[in-house]
Amino acid sequence: MDYLPVCLKLDGEPVLLVGGGEIATRKARLLHRAGAVLTVVAPEVSAELTDLVGDSARVQRTPWSPEKPLDQFRAVIAATNDTAVNAEVSQVCRAANLPVNVVDSPALCSFIIPAIVDRNPLLVGISSSGASPVMARRIRSTLETLYPPGYGAAARFYGEQRDRVSSEIAEEGDRRQFWEAIVDSPITDLLARQEVAEASRRFDRALEDPGALIHGAVYLIGAGPGDPDLMTFKALRLLQRADVVLYDRLIGDGILELARRDADRIYVGKQRSEHAMPQDQINQALVDYARAGKRVARLKGGDPFIFGRGGEEIEGLMKAGIDFEVVPGITAASGAACYGGIPLTHRDHAQSVRFITGHTRNYELNLPWAQFLNPAETLVFYMGLAGLEIICRELMAAGRAGDTPMAVIEKATRPDQRVITGTLSTMHRIVEETQPAAPTLLIIGSVVTLHESLGWFNGTSSDDD
């Protein structure tokens, strides 16, 4: 270990910053957040740095001089673009046993400043010991996605409860187990969402009865249309927390691999006339696992509330008194349209968009077809492949032109995505020839003509020529 990570308290403490340019300003922002009282020495000082320092008496627009007294400072930062000046600052400070940091010169530093994830009072520092700052920043970016800003509020709350817990739980081992259970419980999520009253109530109950911490929850997660990179930070964080994952058929390759390796994975997918688990059994399974103290990820393709039956599932959770969170996902229409180069709305083509279920019952599709005739409105049919012939026929019978452009997007946002284009009158024949497989999405409207110029995704396009 080249360095010992240490958190230095600088709130209200004097710190000398040598330099007044962009590099110095970046360091000044960080020191200002830590509450340091800065003195800046440089021939020229940026306006932002002057504002950060505040008192003009602490801005000395003069060159650095080794004769300046340093005993009043707790630390020194050298952030000039003059290597000789930086080396001299380091030499003087080391001789005075004063902590010194020289930007981008680890050999001249007695301490270094890591990349920081700031969830005050919770802080995470990532250091490469000066070898690769870019790698440290990359790791910080990853951690930023895993720990939301609200974790700082949770840490503050727990800090306020430490004395109380110490007085209630005498044994150190018992206290440690209590805190471990608390931090992993839904109380942390409640605090992160600023639901302090409910979090306090549960904390009080847990302190009286530690068994109350065995408390499951369900995360209804929209996994997006297929590409794992389209999942939200929150979706990824909750998925990696889950003990049990119930997942659909439409979950894209690679998404399930983001779950914890020790999590139980249960397939509950549905396809036409074949349900791995009926919906009522899915609803009950969510309740049962949560009541057993499990954290359950209900992983759904697209968005849970757009033809995803998410509303039915949370109704059951609410009736059972189970904690749950709903995480929106990028719905298939947005993902398919963007990756296929088909804007759902466009000033010259469509001023509105309508999402419609194309799911048939007994080979019938009863929809208000007469409402779908506006040529300035894009129609998007989910689950419409089996009923494609009905959809095309009924739209034309209602009055929509047979030459209306149409696209069938197969396996949207995935590496093997395919965009098949045609018209209302020709698409049924084209689909018979090209044989797309689910999942598919139908887009109808003049915006489909933009696919040829905007379709940047490396899929295969087929039309009616």
SS (H, E, C) 36-81: CEEEEECCCCCHHHHHHHCCHHHEECCCCCCCCCCCCCCEEEECCC
Pairing of strands 405-410, 440-444: antiparallel
Give the type of residue at 437. Answer: A
Contact 380, 442 (CB under 8 A): yes
302 among annotated binding-site residues: yes
55 among annotated binding-site residues: no
CA distance 430 to 420: 8
383 among annotated binding-site residues: yes
Q: Which residues are known to be catalytic? A: 248, 270
332 among annotated binding-site residues: yes
Angle between helices 196-208 and 172-183 (to 10 degrees): 150
412 among annotated binding-site residues: yes
331 among annotated binding-site residues: yes
User: Three-state DSSP class for 168?
Assistant: helix
User: Three-state DSSP class for 238?
Assistant: helix
b vs e for 188-212, b when ≥16 Cβ sit within 10 Å of the residue's Cβ?
A: bbbbbeebeeebeebbeebbeeeee
Structure tokens belonging to residue 237: 């964080």
303 among annotated binding-site residues: yes
CA distance 390 to 409: 18
Structure tokens belonging to residue 307: 């033809």
43 among annotated binding-site residues: yes
CA distance 263 to 185: 17
23 among annotated binding-site residues: yes
44 among annotated binding-site residues: yes
375 among annotated binding-site residues: no
Pairing of strands 14-18, 59-60: unpaired
Binding-site members are 22-23, 43-44, 225, 301-303, 306, 331-332, 383, 412
Summarize the annotated binding site for NAD(+) as residue ranges: 22-23, 43-44
Residues at the annotated binding site for S-adenosyl-L-methionine?
225, 301-303, 306, 331-332, 383, 412
